[in-house]
Amino acid sequence: MIDVCFNVLHYQSFNATTMCVDSLLKLKGIEKCLIVILDNGSPNHSFELLKNRYSANPIIKLLHSIENLGFSEGNNKLYRFSKLYNPQFIVVLNNDIEIRQKNFVDVLQKTYTANPSYLIGPDVYCPRGQEHQSPLYKELPSKVDIEKLVAERKSEIEYIDEALNLYRHREKTENIRKYVPYWIIEIRKRLKHEFVNLHYKQQFIVNPVLQGSCIIVTKLFMKNEELLFTPDTGFYCEEMILALRCKLNGYKTLYTRNLKVIHWHGISSGFQYVPSRESLILKNKRLIKAYSMYLDLIDNNPWKERKQHS
C-alpha cells in the first residue's frame, strides 16, 4: 500500500521541479511513497530532461499533457491518477515547493490520526517576501469581502500606471527586506496598521482557507470526491472555492504548523517582480472572473443536493 502520493505539476522550469522532487527523495519513509510528475504542456524540452533524470526511479511516475491544462485541470488529472494507487494521502504541490522537514510523512500520519480531516495544510513559508502564506484566511471571506476585492481589481485596471509604480516601489523594498529579520517586519507592519498574517503561529486551525501551493488530500476526501478543483476558474481563487465546497459539504479541513514547506515563489520566472502592463491587466481580469464565480457559488450552492458523508 502506498502511504503518500506526492503530485508535482511541472511547467517549463526544470530547475524548480528537480529542486522539489529531489527534496522529496530525501524524506524519511519515501520508499513507501510515490512521486507523480505531470508535465503541463511545456513548450521547451524540460520534460525530456526530467525523463532522463528520473525515469529509472521506481517510485517516480512521469505523465505528459500535450496542451497546458491550467492549474485546476492539471491537478485534477494528477489527482485521478494518484487515486488509482489507493494512497492514504495525496500531497498536491507546486513545483516551486521544497520540503526540508525530513519526518514530514510521519508527522502527517500522526496529525491525521489525532485530527481526522478531509484536507490538511502545512505552514508555507516564502523566503522571497519573508512571509508565511498559509492559511490564506482563518475563515471563508464573506460576500462583502469579495466585493471589496473586485472593486480593488477594477481600480487597479483603471489606474494601471499608479499600480505599476507601486510594484516598482515594492521591488526596491523587497531587496532590502531580504536582510531584515522577519519579526522586525511584523512589528513594523503592526505599527503602520498594515495587515499581518499571524494565523500561521497557531498549532491548529479548523476550516481555514488553505494556501494552494501545498494541500494534502486525505482518504476522507478521496472517498467522496472525483475531482479536486471544481469548477475550473481558469486562473485564481481555486483555494477559496475548494474551502467553500468543503464547508458546504460539511468536510473538516485543518491547518497545522507542525508540517512545514518552503515556497520559492517566482523561481520559475526568475523572481521577476514587476509585471508588464498587459500581464497585470490580464491578471486583474482573471481575478475578477474568479471572484465572480465564487460569489455565484455562494448564492447558488451546486452541492446542496448532495448527502454529507463522513
pLDDT of residue 174: 62
This model's pTM is above 0.85: yes
Assess if residue 9 is contained within a domain: yes
> In the chain, pLDDT over 70 holds for what percent of residues?
88
- Within 10 A of 202 (CB to CB), how many other CB atoms are there? 14
- pLDDT tens per residue across span 49-97: 999 999 999 999 999 999 999 999 999 999 999 999 999 999 999 999 9
Question: Closest Cα partner for 206 from 258, 134, 255, 136?
Answer: 255
Assess if residue 207 is contained within a domain: yes
Contacts of 183 (CB under 8 A, 6+ apart): none
Write phi, then psi, for 261 (nearest 5 degrees). -135, 165
3-state secondary structure the chain: CCCEEEEEEECCCHHHHHHHHHHHHCCCCHHHCEEEEEEECCCCCHHHHHHHHHCCCCCEEEEEECCCCHHHHHHHHHHHHHHCCCCCEEEEEECCEECCCCCHHHHHHHHHHHCCCCEEEEEEEECCCCEECCCCECCCCCHHHHHHHHHHHHHHHHCHHHHHHHHHHHHHHHHHHCCCCHHHHHHHHHHCCCCCCCHHHCCEEECCECCCCEEEEEHHHHHHCCCCCCCCCCCCCHHHHHHHHHHHHCCCEEEEEEEEEEECCCHHHCCCCCCCHHHHHHHHHHHHHHHHHHHHHHHCCCCCCCCCCC
pLDDT of residue 309: 47
Residue written as cell 447558488?
Answer: 300
Confidence tier at 308 by pLDDT (50, 70, 90): very low
Assess if residue 52 is contained within a domain: yes
Contacts of 194 (CB under 8 A, 6+ apart): none
Assess if residue 294 is contained within a domain: yes
Most confident of 78-87, 158-167, 171-180: 78-87
202-to-254, 256, 302 alpha-carbon distances in Å: 11, 7, 32
pLDDT of residue 117: 98
Which of residues 199 and 184 earns the better pLDDT score?
Answer: 199
Assess if residue 291 is contained within a domain: yes
Domain range for 15 is 4-149+176-299
Q: Kindly report the length of the chain.
A: 310
| Tally of domains in the chain | 1
Assess if residue 167 is contained within a domain: no
Residue written as cell 524540460?
Answer: 46
- Within 10 A of 195 (CB to CB), how many other CB atoms are there? 7
Assess if residue 166 is contained within a domain: no
Distance (Å, whole) CA 61 – CA 294: 34
pLDDT at 279 over 50: yes
pLDDT at 193 over 90: no
CATH of the domain at 92: 3.90.550.10
- In the chain, the amino acid numbered 234 is G
- pLDDT tens per residue across span 200-236: 889 999 999 999 999 999 999 999 999 999 988 877 8
